[in-house]
């Protein structure tokens, strides 16, 4: 347990230094170092992510950086998706959840290596929270991010922040602050979904969360002394290596047969999921093309 707490402290330091992303190491650490089952590790990770996000949120609330209306709408949609993801995890074997988590780690790594769009905004400025929201877009993205959180136990900040920044037109510091509210809401809903089929071991989750919070406070103090961009790129590469290790370990012949049997047992569900993913991909391509050739001002009001 001492080793687990030490590693949780280290993950918290990364969270404090980088402002997000460190929680993706929690599940692999709990599975491969502490010996938890994948679903137990995911539930503990959700507790850690939720409590850490709430703790970090308090500091942003004091400076008025949280856009509550945007966060509430995005978060409520995310809670529905997260609860559904947590319930859906009941029918997926733990090994398949680890494969999905490895894919999320790769996406996190790519986002960290690319850096945040729009750059950083001075934290001394008061964020301009929108009076009118692109409601359908916010609900769609919120439910999508929540579903990922519910399935694999990752906070999803690397998806929430760009969505709030681009959809909600929030300054980057406001998007980061508001994302903490969304992540906390998603984590709670996902825990409720997992509670239906997995026993949540709070006696282990709480001390791990406390160690992560202590680390995040230390990381926040160190962040002012270290170069954030280089550190983020190094950490992004490290996350990619861990993701490749996880996928190589879990993508065995037996696991592929297990996935094939699952698809054959539920063909209608997976056909529907494939269609939904295709629609999402096409909508993203359309949005990129419009932004590329018409610019942000080309939208019809």
Give the pair of three-digit tokens for residue 266: 């539920």
Q: What angle do CA 3, 219, 245 make, to 5 degrees?
A: 50
d(CA 190, CA 182): 12
Q: Is 27 part of any domain?
A: yes
Give the pair of three-digit tokens for residue 57: 């949120």
Q: Is 260 part of any domain?
A: no
| CA torsion through residues 13, 19, 21, 26, sign | positive
**pLDDT at residue 124, rounded to an integer:** 42
- Say if residue 292 is in the same domain as residue 158: no
Q: Is 23 part of any domain?
A: yes
**pLDDT at residue 76, rounded to an integer:** 92
- Say if residue 159 is in the same domain as residue 281: no
- Say if residue 185 is in the same domain as residue 296: no
Q: Is 259 part of any domain?
A: no
pLDDT, one tens digit for every residue, the chain (301 residues): 788 888 888 888 777 666 666 667 788 888 888 888 888 888 888 888 888 888 888 878 887 888 898 889 988 998 998 888 888 887 777 788 888 888 888 877 787 677 655 444 444 444 467 767 777 878 888 888 888 878 877 766 667 777 787 666 778 778 878 888 888 888 888 888 888 888 888 888 889 889 988 888 887 777 667 655 666 677 778 778 888 888 888 888 888 887 888 778 778 767 777 787 787 778 767 767 766 665 544 443 3
- Say if residue 226 is in the same domain as residue 88: yes
In angstroms, what CA-CA distances link 137 with 56, 143, 180, 212, 262?
Answer: 26, 10, 19, 33, 31
- Say if residue 204 is in the same domain as residue 285: no
Greatest alpha-carbon span in the chain: 58
Q: Is 63 part of any domain?
A: yes
Q: For residues 144 and 74, is the Cβ–Cβ distance under 8 A?
A: no
Residue 103 CA from chain centroid, whole number: 12
Give the pair of three-digit tokens for residue 121: 């905004």
In angstroms, what CA-CA distances link 198 with 76, 86, 116, 288?
Answer: 23, 10, 35, 40
- Say if residue 217 is in the same domain as residue 271: no
- Say if residue 69 is in the same domain as residue 201: yes
d(CA 256, CA 275): 22
- Say if residue 239 is in the same domain as residue 298: no
pTM score: 0.71
d(CA 298, CA 288): 12
* Domain that includes residue 278, residue range: 266-301
- Say if residue 194 is in the same domain as residue 276: no
- Say if residue 275 is in the same domain as residue 248: no
Q: Is 247 part of any domain?
A: yes
Q: Reduce the secondary structure of the chain to three states and give it as a string.
A: CHHHHHHHHHHHHHHHHHCCCHHHHHHHHHHHCCCCCHHHHHHHHHHHHHHHHHHHHHHHHHCCCCCHHHHHHHHHHHHHHHHHHHHHHHHCCHHHHHHHHHHHHHHHHHHHHHCCCCCCCCCCCCCCCCCCCCHHHHHHHHHHHHHHHHHHCCCCHHHHHHHHHHCCCCCHHHHHHHHHHHHHHHHHHHHHHHCCCCCCCHHHHHHHHHHHHHHHHHHHHHHCCCCHHHHHHHHHHHHHHHHHHHHHHHCCHHHHHHHHHHHHHCHHHHHHHHHHHHHHHHHHHHHHHHHHHCCHHHCCC
The total number of structural domains that make up the chain: 2
Q: Is 261 part of any domain?
A: no
- Say if residue 57 is in the same domain as residue 137: yes
Q: For residues 149 and 175, is the Cβ–Cβ distance under 8 A?
A: no
- Say if residue 45 is in the same domain as residue 188: yes
């Amino acid at each position: 347990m001492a080793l687990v707490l030490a590693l949780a402290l280290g993950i918290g330091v990364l969270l404090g230094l980088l402002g997000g992303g460190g929680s993706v190491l929690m599940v692999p650490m709990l599975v491969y170092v502490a010996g938890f089952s994948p679903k137990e590790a995911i539930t503990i990770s959700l507790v850690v992510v939720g409590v850490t996000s709430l703790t970090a949120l308090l500091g942003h609330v004091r400076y008025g950086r949280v856009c509550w209306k945007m966060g509430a709408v995005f978060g409520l949609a995310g809670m529905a998706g997260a609860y559904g993801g947590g319930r859906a995890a009941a029918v997926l074997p733990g090994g398949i959840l680890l494969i999905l988590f490895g894919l999320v780690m790769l996406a996190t790594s790519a986002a960290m290596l690319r850096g945040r769009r729009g750059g950083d905004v001075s934290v001394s400025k008061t964020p301009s929270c929108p009076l009118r929201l692109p409601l359908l877009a916010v609900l769609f993205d919120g439910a999508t991010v929540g579903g990922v959180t519910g399935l694999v136990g990752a906070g999803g900040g690397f998806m929430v922040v760009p969505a709030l920044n681009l959809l909600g037109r929030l300054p980057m510091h406001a998007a980061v602050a508001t994302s903490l509210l969304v992540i906390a809401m998603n984590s709670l809903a996902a825990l409720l979904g997992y509670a239906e089929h997995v026993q949540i071991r709070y006696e282990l989750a709480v001390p791990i969360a406390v160690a992560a919070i202590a680390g995040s406070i230390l990381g926040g103090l160190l962040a002012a002394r270290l170069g954030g961009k280089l550190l983020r790129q190094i950490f992004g590469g490290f996350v990619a290596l861990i993701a490749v290790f996880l996928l190589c370990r879990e993508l065995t012949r037996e696991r592929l047969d297990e996935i094939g049997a699952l698809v054959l047992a539920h063909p209608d569900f997976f056909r529907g999921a494939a269609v939904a993913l295709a629609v999402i991909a096409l909508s993203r391509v359309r949005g990129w093309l419009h932004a590329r050739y018409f610019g942000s001002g080309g939208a019809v009001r």
